[in-house]
Structure 1
């Protein structure tokens, strides 16, 4: 009987699912995902997670719960560092334990530690440990890891070409037409960068569909994943030292890169209420925006109570303001 591994469709799912799915499939392991976020998943997560947890963590609890009776294992890796420079938010470090001890009757959690600071082969060793759980030989695990890494590289190449994670994921997993990039019939006269953590920006439910709302308003949207990796890694964030957290550092570098290159008409920071690192990042972004007044900046905070109408109104007002500003300075 084929083992089934559940992967909650939240948090690091938006960055690494193509690699994870390929790896498990190569080991003849069936991958089951929790699907799109919805009100029921969030409500269930809110009941179980700590009250002061950020909304992405609450939602993750709901996604994990939905897989409870459907799989033999839950894959929740303990991702610490993947770039040798910054570490991930504590919620990623403690996520396996939060699910294991915070929810009752859950399947066994696969929580291999992933920290590239422990050596050049640390990631391969982590995946080898996963392979051992399913009785795979080292050669089979290495082959699976190699194919998964190639799939991940292909996924990243699509993001660098301008596709957003949901679009690129469908192409990588052979569920969409590779030529389709945006809805037909919609012309764009503005380009906005929606900066924020992938699991907030690309989850249509908790983001209240920000990306799609902007597209319908005639705005081309780019996100952190679309920015050139090389220049971004070299971008100075005007701080004495680099930001400690991976996604926070990423967003702040992206902010300064876009302001200094002037490659967008506006920047929107999508932030989750209750996120400690984001409270500092948002202020630093606001201070940077005061130095580059040619590019309007707006901060949009979301939580489990975010309403569709309020978000739509703010996006419409911001878009109209930027459009009028461009017309005045033509």
Structure 2
């Protein structure tokens, strides 16, 4: 074989492995057209096939003609007595039946996947949201999705982020100055942190607000590092020398609140968490001057993975206020 002969049959020749191919979607009729052809074959009438598939007869005729142009063969012969498949139409109909059956199997499989996804919802939330906001949202979700089993894990913002990144939660909620690294999210509300003490504490008898620098220098009852509350407090007092070493460092909002009520010292908590204690005068709110103690509440999820199914519905409930 000469070098020239060898070149004529190489991979670059027409039809070879490296030749560009038109995408399949441009070469094969769409499912709607194939279903219409199957209806014509079964009913023997283009008009009846059009009614069965929910389109007008002119639209059905146009779809058949477009399919014939695409395939380069005549599929249907029309006459006053009805519509009859040509020999080519009969062959294409058999192929169409297999394609439609495969599409139905694909759709059934996708439906099963959605059902499996929608049968459970795993939520991870930081303490304040888990204790004071999520119960109402989950009650509302259950009213619309009674078949969805919901599991809730409460932890600090850092733990919530880790659970989402490890695929152990479908949706997360955190408090803080922004979304944790590696996560996307949406602001669903805002919250105010308040300094509180027991009524017998000296700050409770002060007439003037506590300056931010004094708050920073005072040992406080605090949440652990990694919590949204601690993150916001660190940021608010950084310009005033930063936080003093904690008087107590506790892992839950309830524990911090109990220590403050007992008179152990001042604490910083969400106003959502201390409403009852303030109303009952078990705690006193201490005004602070010079420290912005506000934070955003966020729904979060891994970057590139938008919430779907019950997670998306729960997210919608939070934006409607439950």
Name the TM tier (shorter chain): under 0.3
**TM-score (normalised: structure 1):** 0.23
**TM-score (normalised: structure 2):** 0.23
